A and B are shown apart, each in its own frame.
Chain A
Amino acid sequence: MRTQPRSPRQVHLGAHFPGVNQTTVWRDPRAGSQTDPSSFEHLARTAERGFMDFFFLAEGLRLREQRGRIYDLDVVGRPDTLTVLNSLAAVTTHLGLAGTINATFNEAAEVARQFASLDHLSGGRAAWNVVTSSDAFTGENFRRGGYLAHADRYVRAREVLDVAREFWDSWGPDALVADPVSGVFVRDVHEVEHHGPQFDVRGPGLLPRSPQGHPVLFQAGDSDGGRDFGAAYADAIFTMHGTLEAGQRFTADLRARAVRHGRAGEDLRILPGASFVLGDTEAEARENAREVRFQQVGPEQAVAFLEQAWGRDLTGFDPEGPLPAQEPDLTSTIVQGRARSVQDRAETVRQWRELAAAHGWSARELVVEVSGRQQFVGTPDQVAAEIDAYVQADACDGFILVPHLTPTGLDEFVDRVVPLLQERGVYRTEYTGTTLREHLGLRHPHDTARRTDAHPARHPARHPARHTA
């Protein structure tokens, strides 16, 4: 048995570029461009200055609509994920570059090659957040249309990933010989041959193995199918859960599922998204947080939010007064282009009415309270302590920070919270590796013996079997 105290678990942090969601405050006079390269560079350089593991960029494939019209109250529009990440690779040196790419509207051969290219050009810093979609609404922008049944989302995603991995491994580890004396440039290139329910493909990978072998894989779906897919395939889980206890339950569940897939629980990095608001005192932080919430939920956003829950056109409704008197129309679906935000609408509306009555809230105040939660509100000391507590309690391995301001929303965190995490001995004071796998403490996918074909997830247990020495 060890006698010295265990060194504390290390905190992992990523930086989410503020985008198309209710968190981003575009009305603030300090809010900058959502598309100018200087915005992406600023956030990436700030994250790198703070020794974060990675920059994270989400994807959009169709503009959201509400009541048949483009939803115009949040940030609208995004650049192409991979193009931005490749440009950022040129102006950063250590920062991981993670991007969401949909497995439904991309083919295995092309997306595998795109991420391998990012991994080569960044020197081993690429990560793919694999998401799925099945809606015909998004499909209208694609030649294949909305072809996928909802139940087949993860069937498709597994097949795309299985084949992507075969493409990443298609060139042997030493395939690139490039020896001018012998005249051999490349040998040991294998053809991928795959026949499955979603597609049949055949052919060689088109480039050498990339520095990380495989890009780091993120998974973000929270359904049972999504969790199982993540536990089987992902290196990191991008999740959303509020309390420490909920985080512990989620993390324990994912680690247990990973073990059932023949992996070690510690093979997974659990990284919830988290917003934060700082202040010099706790009271000031709370006041700042309240201001941010009312910026995020303007009167128009409050009405739009209630329309989603009520399923009704609420044009002319005054959000500074009480909640709508009408009952919700449970048959309508007025929102297209994003996951449903209100699950059981009748029950939700009933609870909201009780809450609003109990507190004397206006409709907008109710929306402020129920539509978003700020994860960390406090002084830098308090926030550092809370982040540390979550990680030490294995509620997660760290957080993907979601600032509400583009592009300066992370500046204060890096200036004021990162040094305190470093003082606590739970956060790096310099990069010790060059690849994202190294930052995250993940194995190289080819480090150990290849998986047996019994497991879909090409991830043998992290620790070698016990030896009787």
Chain B
Amino acid sequence: MPSRPPAALRWAVELDGAGRHPAAWRLPGARPEELFTAAHWRRLAATVDAADVDLLVVPDAYRLQSAAERDQRGRLDAVAVAAHLAPLTRRPGLVPVVTTTHTEPFHTQKAIATLDLTSRGRAGWQVEVSTTAQEADLFGRKAAAPAEELWREAAETVDVARRLWDSWEDDAVVRDVATGRYVDRDKLHHVDFSGEFFAVKGPSITPRSPQGQPLVVVPVRDQPSLELAVAQADVARLETADAGQAAGWAAALPTATVLLDVEVLLRRDAAEAADVAAQLDAWSPGPPPRSVRHVGTPESFLDLLTALPAGVDGVAVVPLDLPVTLDLLASDVLPRVTRPVVHGTTLRERFGLPRPVSRYVEEVSA
């Protein structure tokens, strides 16, 4: 089955410190002493904004990436970074990773709804789980659990977040001077959620956000995460280097926008790209690739895009190093692919998704 041409592709970029490679901070131009500053994020976000990338993903986890002193370690809170970038960008969807294992669903949903407010409708949420005992110890509230259970809990968290995002109808704030009523309380709804893992009363504390439902992004790396993606994902990221597996997962996700994860290191000269990658691995081998990995030139990367697995709508580019690979992506790759025409300014509009009416509206009028 022939792949679609690059012209139709959706683009996400995941920005992580000096890049996903643990030694990337040692490369020229990385400015490692600035990795925890606003200036670092502002520079990268300006590039992403100008290049009209669809999604800017900020990774996160409640653990350090490595135990080795030579590897880059530490991250700012992803929602904080996305919120900081909201007034500084105009185009990309802002998608922080927020884990569901040890956090409160009520806090998560109001943080994402508020990011939707401050970004004027560009918020997304990438769901992640915390699998390790170290993460469990950091909270001390429960023990580590098998992935299957964690993703089931994540599904419950997304479900309740979506209900809470609907718990204020769009026109709930009436400011009716004649009756003295700020809200029409018949348009606020207790969600009365009670599931396997928790109960939440609702309604949300935050009024309905510009998109109503911010986009939910789910990484797919195994059967349990695939099941969450099937149930809840607006966008799915496939973390596999196996084209057959990717095509199979994509087939299971007929309604989601499906992105193939690609770890990328670009240089204008193929030999230089290979040398840089070899140098990075010599400094620190790091963990094995989590996805397709491409080390090469903008041209070879464009070639890769013509041979994506069936059912894939675009790519989630994870630069192994920053900012050089991102800069080349913006200057030498994205201008050479025709992008889908974007109507409107919100992330849902960018993806051609309708703005859903609150699920509670019909309940009332019925």
Contacts of B72 in A (CB 8 A): 185-186
Is B181 a contact partner of A82 (Cβ separation < 8 A)?
Answer: no
Is A107 a contact partner of B102 (Cβ separation < 8 A)?
Answer: yes
Contacts of B107 in A (CB 8 A): 80, 105-106
Is B38 a contact partner of A89 (Cβ separation < 8 A)?
Answer: yes
Q: Which of B82-90, B144-152, B231-239 contacts A (4 or more CB under 8 A)?
A: B82-90
In this assembly, does B47 line the interface, its C-beta being within 8 Å of a C-beta of chain A? no
Min distance, Cβ B38 to any Cβ of chain A, angstroms: 5
In this assembly, does B224 line the interface, its C-beta being within 8 Å of a C-beta of chain A? no
In this assembly, does A420 line the interface, its C-beta being within 8 Å of a C-beta of chain B? no
Q: Which of B201-209, B266-274, B326-334 contacts A (4 or more CB under 8 A)?
A: B201-209
> Complex Cα distance A292/B36, Å?
46
Q: Which of B63, B80, B103, B139 has the most CB of A within 10 A?
A: B80
Interface size on A, residues (CB 8 A): 75
Min distance, Cβ B65 to any Cβ of chain A, angstroms: 10
Given A80-B206, A110-B103, A142-B104, CB of A70 within 8 Å of CB of B117: no
Is A79 a contact partner of B114 (Cβ separation < 8 A)?
Answer: yes
Is A176 a contact partner of B33 (Cβ separation < 8 A)?
Answer: yes
User: In the complex, which of the residues A77, A118, A178, A202 contacts B25, with contact meaning CB atoms closer than 8 Å?
Assistant: A178
In this assembly, does B115 line the interface, its C-beta being within 8 Å of a C-beta of chain A? yes
Is A121 a contact partner of B117 (Cβ separation < 8 A)?
Answer: no
Q: Which of A34, A35, A86, A180 has the most CB of B within 10 A?
A: A86
Residue ID in chain B nearest A167 by CB atoms? B138
Is A122 a contact partner of B38 (Cβ separation < 8 A)?
Answer: yes
Min distance, Cβ B278 to any Cβ of chain A, angstroms: 16
Q: Which of A47-55, A58-66, A380-388 contacts B (4 or more CB under 8 A)?
A: A58-66
Given A26-B175, A90-B86, CB of A84 within 8 Å of CB of B38: no
Is A83 a contact partner of B79 (Cβ separation < 8 A)?
Answer: yes
Is A37 a contact partner of B120 (Cβ separation < 8 A)?
Answer: yes
In this assembly, does B179 line the interface, its C-beta being within 8 Å of a C-beta of chain A? yes
Is A90 a contact partner of B38 (Cβ separation < 8 A)?
Answer: yes
User: In the complex, which of the residues B74, B180, B183 contacts A208, with contact meaning CB atoms closer than 8 Å?
Assistant: B74
Hey, what's the 0/1 contact readout for A180-218 against B, CB within 8 Å counting as 1? 100111110100000000011111101110000000000
In this assembly, does A411 line the interface, its C-beta being within 8 Å of a C-beta of chain B? no
In this assembly, does B3 line the interface, its C-beta being within 8 Å of a C-beta of chain A? no
In this assembly, does B350 line the interface, its C-beta being within 8 Å of a C-beta of chain A? no
Min distance, Cβ B30 to any Cβ of chain A, angstroms: 8
In this assembly, does A75 line the interface, its C-beta being within 8 Å of a C-beta of chain B? yes
Min distance, Cβ B302 to any Cβ of chain A, angstroms: 31
Chain B contact-residue range equals: 35 or more
Contacts of B118 in A (CB 8 A): 37, 40, 79, 83-84, 87
Given A106-B107, A185-B70, CB of A72 within 8 Å of CB of B181: yes
Is A107 a contact partner of B139 (Cβ separation < 8 A)?
Answer: yes
Given A37-B87, A201-B140, CB of A143 within 8 Å of CB of B104: yes
Q: Which of A10-18, A271-279, A293-301, A442-450 contacts B (4 or more CB under 8 A)?
A: A293-301
Hey, what's the 0/1 contact readout for B172-212 against A, CB within 8 Å counting as 1? 01010101111111001000000001111111111100000
Contacts of A73 in B (CB 8 A): 180-182
Residue ID in chain B nearest A59 by CB atoms? B205
Given A35-B207, A37-B87, CB of A82 within 8 Å of CB of B80: yes
User: In the complex, which of the residues A121, A140, A200 contacts B38, with contact meaning CB atoms closer than 8 Å?
Assistant: A121
Hey, what's the 0/1 contact readout for A278-314 against B, CB within 8 Å counting as 1? 0000000000000000000011110000000000000
> Complex Cα distance A87/B114, Å?
10
Min distance, Cβ A430 to any Cβ of chain B, angstroms: 22
Contacts of B290 in A (CB 8 A): none
In this assembly, does A141 line the interface, its C-beta being within 8 Å of a C-beta of chain B? yes
Is A72 a contact partner of B185 (Cβ separation < 8 A)?
Answer: yes
Residue ID in chain B nearest A85 by CB atoms? B83
Hey, what's the 0/1 contact readout for B89-130 against A, CB within 8 Å counting as 1? 000000000000011111100110111011010000000000
Is A83 a contact partner of B69 (Cβ separation < 8 A)?
Answer: no
Hey, what's the 0/1 contact readout for A20-54 against B, CB within 8 Å counting as 1? 00000011000100111100110000000000000
Give 16 new A-B contacts, CB below 8 A, not counting A140-B199, A143-B105, A145-B199: A72-B184, A77-B173, A78-B206, A80-B114, A82-B83, A114-B80, A117-B76, A120-B36, A120-B76, A141-B202, A143-B198, A178-B32, A180-B26, A185-B69, A199-B140, A206-B63
Give chain B's interface residues, CB within 8 Å of chain A. 25-27, 30, 32-33, 35-38, 41-42, 62-64, 69-77, 79-81, 83-88, 102-107, 110-111, 113-115, 117-118, 120, 134-135, 137-141, 168, 173, 175, 177, 179-185, 188, 197-207, 283
Pairs across A and B, CB under 8 Å, 13 listed:
A35-B206, A62-B205, A63-B188, A80-B110, A83-B118, A87-B84, A110-B62, A120-B36, A140-B201, A142-B200, A177-B69, A180-B32, A201-B139
5 nearest A-B pairs in the assembled complex, by CB-CB distance: A86-B83, A143-B198, A300-B180, A178-B32, A140-B201
